[in-house]
Structures are given as structure tokens and as C-alpha cells.
Amino acid sequence: MAASGENDVQQPLVKPTREKVDTYGFTRPEDFDYETYEEFMAGYLSVLARRASRWSGLLKGRKAINRSFKVKRFIRKGIPAEHRGTVWMEVSGAQHKMETNPDTYTSLLNGEKDQQLLDTINTDIHRTFPENIYFCDASRESKRVSLYNILVAFGHYNKSVGYCQGLNFIVAIFLLILKDEEQAFWLLVTLLEDILPEYYSKDMKGLKVDQEVLGELVKLKNPSVAAVIEKEGMPWSILVTKWFVCLYIDVLPIETVLRIWDCLFYEGSKILFRVALTMIKRNEANIAAATSFPGILEAFKQSTQDKIITDCHAFMQAIFTETGPLPMAQIQKLRLDCAARIS
């Protein structure tokens, strides 16, 4: 199976230098830790080369990617940049949706528009990654028009969602990875309809339920953390809404986010819990020692800054080993219980 011809943003990572702009177009902050990054990249480049070779062998001559233990294992170890867009579209089911609805996206763009929706989207377009060269005002290669088109099309396609803050960042990342805006549109449809249903609905019930599910999982796996949060009467929504709504964008490094999404599109929402539980577990002592509302907030912030998180390869290994078993049946039962409680 050939790669989908992703754009120039999607070239494999090269030998790290102290560039001000990263591979994906993000301007690095003044306090960027180059030493930690370079230490990680020194080993990760060889990992990427090995993975690229094995993925090329796996995809060669294939018209589709069938689900299998081998594919799951390959995805958990990371999808190479040159294959990422193709694999996301295939394993998520977005490619099938696009092929069976060939005229839908164009029709949505050409159809009648809701002015209130357009105004809302326009407001957020200018807030989307202003530090990224592909989304800033001055960029000759700006992807803002494509971002706007996708959000408008989706808002009219799924009126029960319309537009929700956070979708702009998700779609922007899609545009850095995928070949074109129609692919990004169908990946968004698949994400919201099949992988994270009701996360972005008007009442965001799916999101609210999963935040409570995380709280229940923490009670089981990290009782000392659960105890301090309950003692302060702190709702989980304050702690993890950004984690779940933005799928860890602007919370974790971009390369780590992409590795998480590799698994999200294959394994589903369980991955979001594994990531959260791993960060909480690794910072358990710090969180449990917090004695105030601000202290808990700071401890959770620190949990996103663990050194291992920069090493996305080690971090992804950790989310599948350090959290222990996490059967989907358990998550579904907790969802039913939490949904009843919220209702």
C-alpha cells in the first residue's frame, strides 16, 4: 500500500539541530530544553529508521490495513511520519467513509450557511496555533482557509455538535499530517461519531462521563491521589478537561501527542485513560502530598512535565505497562454507572 502523498510538513524527522521551528512548524519557546530533546533524539532517530523500514514492508502491496495483533503492535511502537496519514485514515474507518460519500464534503462547502456558526468559527481561527508558521497571519503557506472550510463543513454536517472549542486545534493538527482537507474532514467525522461520541455535543455528556470514569479508575489504581482530591472537593473537570477535550494538544509535546493519536485511532478512547493514569501514577507522591486546591492544580501541571514525556517512545511503552490491565468491559461499566449519576 503506497503512502497517501502527505505534504512537505510530513517529512521524517532529521538530525536534530537547534532550530527555532520544529518539524511541524511550531516555534519553540525561549526556554525550550534543547539538551533533553537532543538526548532523546539521539536514540529515537534510529528507532524511527527501523520502524519506517518495517512499516514499508507491512504496507507494501496492500490495498487495506486489516486489524491484527501485528498491526496493533506496530502502531503502539509508532507510525512513521511518511505513513501516518494513510494509516490514520485506514484504521479509523475514515477512508471508508470518504470513499462511500464522495460528494458530501464539496456539497457542504457549497451549501447554505449558518451565519452564527461562521462567526463563531472565525473567532477561533485566529486563535489557532499563532506560534505555528502554517497558521500565523504572515504565513504564505497558511492552512487557515482549509481549517475554516473543514470546521464550517462539519458544523453543517453534524448540527448536534455544530462547533465546539478545541476542535480547531484538533483539525489544525490533522492538516499538518494529512494530504488534504477532505481527508481531515472525514477523520474529524470519524473521531467525533465513532471514537469519542458525545465528547463535543452541546452538553458534552460523553466528556463529563469519561472525566468521572477517570476519577473512578484513580480510586482503584491510585487511592492516595483520589483521597486528596475528594478531601478538597475538587471536580475532575477542573483537572483534566483540557487533557480530554484537546486530546493532549498543548498539554504534551507534539511528537508525544501524535504517538498517542496513533493508538487512539486504532484502539479508541481507552488510550486517553491510559495516558492520564500514567501521568498521575508517575506523579502520585507529589499529588498525594498536596494540601490545597492550588497545590493539587500545580501537582497535576507538573505531572505533564515529567522528563519521560519528552521521550515519546519510552512514554508510550509506559502507558501500556505502568497502568496495569484496563479492560474495555470495565470502562463501559463505569461509564454506565457514571452516566446514571450525572443524569
Residue 33: its pLDDT value, please? 86
Residue 46: its pLDDT value, please? 86
Q: What is the mean pLDDT of each run of 10 residues along the chain (343 residues)?
A: 49 62 91 86 86 90 88 95 95 97 97 96 93 81 92 97 96 95 98 96 95 98 96 95 96 96 98 98 96 95 92 95 94 97 85
Is the domain spanning 99-195 CATH 3.40.50.1820? The answer is: no
Residue 119: its pLDDT value, please? 96
For CA atoms 42, 47, 48, 50, the dihedral sign is positive
Q: What is the CA radius of gyration of the chain?
A: 20
For CA atoms 193, 196, 202, 206, the dihedral sign is positive
First to last CA, the chain: 47
> What cell was used for 83?
505513513
Nearest to 83 by CA among 9, 3, 8: 3
Q: Are 222 and 278 in contact (CB under 8 A)?
A: no
Q: Are 184 and 175 in contact (CB under 8 A)?
A: yes
Give domain limits for the chain.
8-97, 99-195, 205-342
Q: Is 302 helix (H, G, I), strand (E, B) or coil?
A: helix
Q: What values do phi and psi take at 231, rounded to 5?
A: -60, -40
Sequence-distant (6+) residues with CB within 8 A of 78 are 47, 48, 51, 259, 262, 312, 313, 316
Residue 37: its pLDDT value, please? 85
Q: Is 27 helix (H, G, I), strand (E, B) or coil?
A: strand
Q: Are 23 and 11 in contact (CB under 8 A)?
A: yes
Amino acid at 126: H
Can you name the CATH fold of 205-342? Answer: Cyclin A; domain 1 (1.10.472)
89-117 burial: b if 16+ Cβ within 10 Å, else e: bbbbbbbebbeeeeebbeebbeeeeeeeb
Residue 17: its pLDDT value, please? 56
Q: What is the pTM of this model?
A: 0.92
